[in-house]
Amino acid sequence: MKGLSPIPAGVFDADTMPSPTGAKTLILLDLLSRHGEGLTAAEVARQSGFTQNLVFRILKTLVAMGYAVQREDRKAYVLTNRLLELSGPRSGEKSLALCANEALRNLRDETGETVQLTIESDGKILVLEQFRGTHPLQVCGEVGMRVPMYSCAPGKAILASWSTARRGEWLAERGARLKAFTTKTIHTPEALEKECRRIVKVGYAEDRAEGVEGIHCVGVPILDPYHQPIGAITVMAPATRMPVAKFPRFAALCHESKSNIEAKLRA
């Protein structure tokens, strides 16, 4: 089933919905989600068209419930990761994020590089959790950010874990719209299918500066008890610290973390 696109504020009359206040709350959540730097109450009111009194009440409720925080500098409201925690993937009653926490931290400590837990979301890769590396110069993303599946190691790891039919459907739907972000981006359906077969054979996915120049990544999928990919873990670093020759070493460490996470999911 395809994911739903965000609902911009103002596209329908929230007052006609069965729960007007609930609809307006969701509209404000959607509005804040598209402004990572945050919005002040006045900016939210102006962009949503709602009264300042209503906006203030909803924002204060979101803060009290832990869904948003108010920045000290300009009093802007910013969403927290609470929604990700609620909707994050699970295996039975086990939360992927909770089961992965210790293994990810250990992987970061052992490699010294930034480590991410990712999931597939609406045909893209979403960063669910991140542990920043220990080097002075680090490659980092943001929790909640989305990136194309085909140009990053964790995305290709998940693609390669899908059935041939599911992957073929994904490639057929997006093939004409895949673009090259660098000269090394693998962006044709035929080349991606060949890459996925290679990934299955070697046991891990690589990103040789395919998403961003000068950045390398290695990733492996995390499988649920039914051997379906529930997410992926990746180590990312400047190419100078993670040359291609070191990919197998980083992949082995990722597999060790993957095994620990899967063991907790099955326990």
Handedness of CA 39, 43, 47, 50 (dihedral sign): positive
Q: Give how far the C-alpha of residue 154 lies from the chain's centroid of Cα atoms, to the nearest Å.
A: 10
Per-residue pLDDT tens for 74-97?
788 988 766 665 555 555 556 788
**Would you state the pLDDT for residue 18?**
55
Q: Which domains does the chain have, with CATH numbers?
A: 14-80 (1.10.10.10), 87-266 (3.30.450.40)
Give Rg (Cα) of the chain: 20
Asked whether the beta carbons of 52 and 82 are under 8 A apart, the reply is no
**Contacts for 111 with CB less than 8 Å, ≥ 6 apart:** 133, 235, 237, 250, 253
pLDDT above 90 as % of the chain: 55
If you average pLDDT over residues 145-149, what whole number do you get?
Answer: 90
Asked whether the beta carbons of 22 and 7 are under 8 A apart, the reply is no
Quick one: tokens of 118? 């990712």
**Would you state the pLDDT for residue 9?**
44
pTM of the shown model? 0.69
**Would you state the pLDDT for residue 85?**
55
Q: Which residues pair with 118 in a beta bridge?
A: 127, 232
Q: What is the DSSP string of 159-217?
A: HHHS-HHHHHHHHHHHGGG---SSTT---SHHHHHHHHHHHHHHTSEEEESSSSTTEEE
Residue 257 above 80 pLDDT?
A: yes
Give the confidence band of 16 by pLDDT, cuts at 50, 70, 90: low
Q: Who has greater pLDDT, 66 or 152?
A: 152
Per-residue pLDDT tens for 178-232?
999 999 999 999 999 999 999 999 999 999 999 999 999 999 999 987 788 999 9
Per-residue pLDDT tens for 39-66?
999 999 999 999 999 999 999 999 888 8
If you average pLDDT over residues 244-261, what whole number do you get?
Answer: 97
Q: Residues 191-219, buried b or exposed e (16+ Cβ, 10 A)?
A: ebbebbeebeeeebbbbbbbbbeebbbbb
Quick one: tokens of 177? 């719209």
**Would you state the pLDDT for residue 5?**
41
